[in-house]
Chains A and B, each alone.
Chain A
C-alpha cells in the first residue's frame, strides 16, 4: 500500500503554512480560484462534478453529497438554506477543529461554491460552543471574505448573493444531528425531528435545507478545481477520495492525518501514529468515534479504512475518530465512559433512548464496580437491541452499538468482572453471617 504523498493531499496540503488562516496567504496558495471557476459553470454542472467525485458526507453517516444536493427542490419559491455542521462532538473526533482553526477560508470557499450549486443565499456555520478559538478565527475569515467581496451581494459579478453567519452552539452533542441542529438554530432545544420530511425539502424554518459537514464542504473546492473524475481516482472503487483520520489514545503520535480511503488501519496506527506508546500491547481499537463498535487486534491487522471493508467487521468509519486502547486499560472503563456520554447527551424525547441509555450506563457501572450479576450481560444485550431503530434520531443506536460490539468481541473481559462480583458476594455473605455490613449497589449520580 502506497502512502498518500504530501503534495497529493487534498485537505491538508500546506496546512501548516504560517498564517494560512488569513485571506492573503490563502489566496497566495491558490485559494478562491475554485470559486471563480465555479461561477463560470452552471449550478447543475457543479452538482454533477460532486456526484461524479463519489464524495460521501464526512460527518459520520456517509451519505453521497452530490445526491443530497440533487434532492433540493429549487422551484418551491422558498429560500434555500445551506448549513455547515461544525458541531463536532463525537468522542474521538477532532478533525473539523483543525480545518476551522488552520484553514477557515477553505471552508468558506467550499460554502460559497455549494451555495451557488444549491441556489442558497443564506448560510450558517453552526460551530460547537466549546470551540471558541475556532469561532474567533472563522469569524475573522468571514469578515475578510466580505471585505473582498467574496460574500454579500453579487459576488464578483456572478449575480450570486450569499450571506454567511457564524452561529455558536452551547454544549449539546445532539445538535450535531442535522435536524437537532436545525431546531437549535431556530432558537429551541436541540430536539431532532422525524424524517420525512427530509431537511432537503423542509428543514430550517420549513424551507429546503442542506446540512453538510465541515470536511465535506472543504473538499468541494478541490473537486471543482480538479474535476470529480480526478477525485474519484483517489481511494478505492467504492470509497472514493481522502479523509481526515483523528488518531488518539495510546499511540506515540496522536493527531489528524489525511489518507486515501482503503489504507490499512494497521498502517495508520504504526506509520502515522508511530505505534503503541511505551511498547504496550494493543487491546482494541475504536475505529470511527465512540459510537462505532470496537475491533480486536486480529481485526486491526486485517481491516482497511474504507466504508465497505470495515463493515465486514461489524463497524464503521463514522466520523474518523480512531481511538487506540492498550491492554492495561480495562475495557469496562472505556465502555462506562462511552455509555455515560450517551446518557448525558440523550435529548430525552424518545423513551427507548432516554431510559435505555440510563439502563446501559447504570448496569455497566455496576459491573465495573464488581456489583454485576450473571443476568446483566443478557439484560444489556436486550436493552441495547431494543434501542436500535426505535427512535427519532440515531443517538439511541449510537449508544447501543458500542455496548453490543464490546460484549460480542470481548466477552471474556466482562465475564471476568461478573465472576469477581460473584466471588465478592460469597465472601461478603460469609461476613454478613458474622454481622458485618455489606453494600449491594453503588449509587449512580451525575
Chain B
C-alpha cells in the first residue's frame, strides 16, 4: 500500500465524537463565516486527538470548507496547537523578563534534573513535556508555569520539584495547586 492511500484511509476514519460534533455545530453557528470558527474547531480537535496530525487538520478543513493548506498554515502559526504528542502534562515555563528575573532558569534546571528533558522534548513514558513560552500575563506571581490549562504561580525550584514529583505519582494539577 502506498503512503498516499494509507494517509487517505486514516483521514476517513477521523471523526469527532457525537458530543464534540454537536459542540462544533453550535460553535460554527455563532460566527458569520465558517472559517472564523477555525481556532475553536482546532481546539476541539486537539482536545479529542491530543495533537493535530496532518490527518486531523485535513478533517478540520473538510468541516470548515477550507483547503487543508489553510488549516495547516493557521495551525502552525499559533503556538498553542500541538503538532506532535506532547504527553499527559505539557509544562509551559515562562522565560520572559519578570519570570526570568524571579528565577525561571532554575525551573528549567529542575525539569532537566527530574525528567531529563529539554525544550520541546517529551519523556519516554509520555507523561511530561517541556515548552519554553513567552509571557503568560502573570508577572506579579512570577515565576509561572502553565501545566496544560492551569497556571501554577509563585514557584521556586523546590516547590516545582515537589510538584513534578506529585504529578509523576498520579496527583492532579488542581490538587497540588490548592
CB within 8 Å of B: which residues of A?
88-94, 96-97, 122, 128-133, 163, 165, 167-173, 184-190, 205, 246-250, 254-256, 286, 290, 321, 323, 325, 329, 333-334, 337-338, 341, 344-345, 347, 446
Contacts and interface: CB of A to CB of B under 8 A. Distances in A.
Nearest to B35: A187
A168 B43 contact: yes
Contact of B134 (A89, A163, A168, A333): A89
Interface stretch (B5-13, B16-24, B73-81, B121-129): B73-81
A170 B139 contact: no
Contacts of A190: 77-78
Nearest to B66: A187
Contacts of A341: 96, 134-135
B149 A189 contact: no
B146 interface: yes
Given A169-B39, A187-B74, A341-B96, A130 B139 contact: no
Contact of A165 (B31, B39, B77, B95): B31
Contacts of A128: 137
Contacts, number: 141
Given A186-B33, A321-B139, A168 B97 contact: no
Contacts of A256: 140
Contacts of A90: 135
A91 B79 contact: no
Given A94-B137, A97-B138, A246-B139, A329 B101 contact: yes
Across chains A and B, which 10 residue pairs bring their CB atoms closest together, nearest first? A187-B35, A170-B78, A248-B139, A171-B79, A171-B80, A254-B140, A187-B38, A91-B135, A189-B77, A132-B149
Contact of B80 (A129, A133, A249): A129
A131 B137 contact: yes
Contacts of B79: 170-172
29 contacts: A91-B135, A92-B135, A94-B139, A94-B140, A97-B138, A128-B137, A129-B80, A130-B137, A163-B30, A165-B30, A167-B36, A168-B39, A170-B39, A171-B133, A172-B79, A186-B36, A187-B36, A187-B37, A188-B70, A189-B73, A246-B140, A249-B101, A250-B101, A255-B140, A286-B97, A321-B139, A323-B101, A334-B97, A334-B101
A92 B36 contact: no
A330 to B, nearest CB: 10
B128 to A, nearest CB: 19
B177 to A, nearest CB: 11
B63 interface: no
B64 interface: yes
Contacts of B142: 248, 254
Contacts of A250: 101
A127 B69 CA distance: 25
Contacts of B151: 133
B40 A248 contact: no
Nearest to A446: B119
Nearest to A126: B39
A89 B96 CA distance: 11
Interface in B82-131: 95-98, 100-102, 119
A108 B141 CA distance: 27
Interface in B123-178: 133-142, 146, 149-151
Given A91-B135, A187-B64, A129 B36 contact: no
Contact of B32 (A96, A122, A338): A122
Contacts of B140: 94, 246-248, 254-256
Given A186-B35, A249-B98, A170 B134 contact: no
A96 B139 CA distance: 13
A323 B100 CA distance: 12
B58 interface: no
Contacts of A184: 39
A173 B66 CA distance: 24
A186 B66 CA distance: 12
A92 B33 contact: no
A93 B137 contact: yes
A273 to B, nearest CB: 10
A153 to B, nearest CB: 15
A173 B42 CA distance: 19
Contacts of A323: 97-98, 101, 139
Nearest to A334: B97
A286 B135 CA distance: 15
Contacts of B81: 170-171
Nearest to B94: A91
A37 B135 CA distance: 39
A248 B102 CA distance: 10
Given A132-B149, A254-B140, A290-B96, 5 more contacts: A91-B135, A130-B137, A171-B79, A246-B139, A254-B139
A205 B139 contact: no
B45 to A, nearest CB: 12
Contacts of B95: 337
B98 A92 contact: yes
A81 to B, nearest CB: 9
A337 B35 CA distance: 35
Nearest to A248: B139
B137 A187 contact: no
A36 B39 CA distance: 34
Contact of B40 (A167, A186, A189): A167
Nearest to B46: A170
Nearest to B100: A337
A185 B139 contact: no
B94 to A, nearest CB: 9
A130 B81 CA distance: 11
A97 B101 contact: no
B42 A170 contact: yes
